[in-house]
Amino acid sequence: MYAYHSEADASLSLSASLEVSYHQGNQETLLKSNVGDFVIDEAECFENFAEGTYDGVFEIAALEAFSYKVGKTYHTAIRAILLSYSLSTPKTERERPTLLDLAFAFSEGFLDEGEKYPT
């Protein structure tokens, strides 16, 4: 992994792993590199990504350092804005439920345990 810092535009280009996860319907994007961990704010460009890890080169603008808690452990990360990226890992699309999937899930709540689904 490498990092390149440009004073002219205050950006950082680094080779890193992007970790995409979803918690309570909210997407969380974390860049992990040998330079540090970066939380990407407002990462709409990753909204269709499936949960997982994606390797690539990312250009970011660092904003501020902060601490967050996972379980009983505190971690430090830096908030950043993504300027550009190039993935070396193929992108996997996030599966979205179809209208039929939603209707089926909704109907499950109305069936008693012994009832069968209509055929």
CA angle 66, 88, 45 (to 5 degrees): 55
| Neighbouring C-beta atoms of residue 79, cutoff 10 Å | 15
Report pLDDT digits (tens) over 35-71: 889 998 777 888 888 889 999 999 999 899 988 887 8
Residue type (1 letter), 32: K
Domain span at 61: 3-94
* Number of domain units in the chain: 1
Tell me whether residue 117 is in a domain: no
Task: Indicate if the pLDDT at residue 1 is higher than 70.
Answer: no
Task: Indicate if the pLDDT at residue 5 is higher than 50.
Answer: no
Report pLDDT digits (tens) over 76-100: 999 999 999 999 877 666 666 566 6
Question: How far is residue 119's CA from residue 117's CA, in Å, rounded to a whole number?
Answer: 6
User: For position 82, which CATH number holds?
Assistant: 2.40.50
Q: What's the predicted TM-score (pTM) here?
A: 0.65
Instruction: Name, of 8-17, 47-56, 83-92, 108-117, the range with top average pLDDT.
Output: 47-56
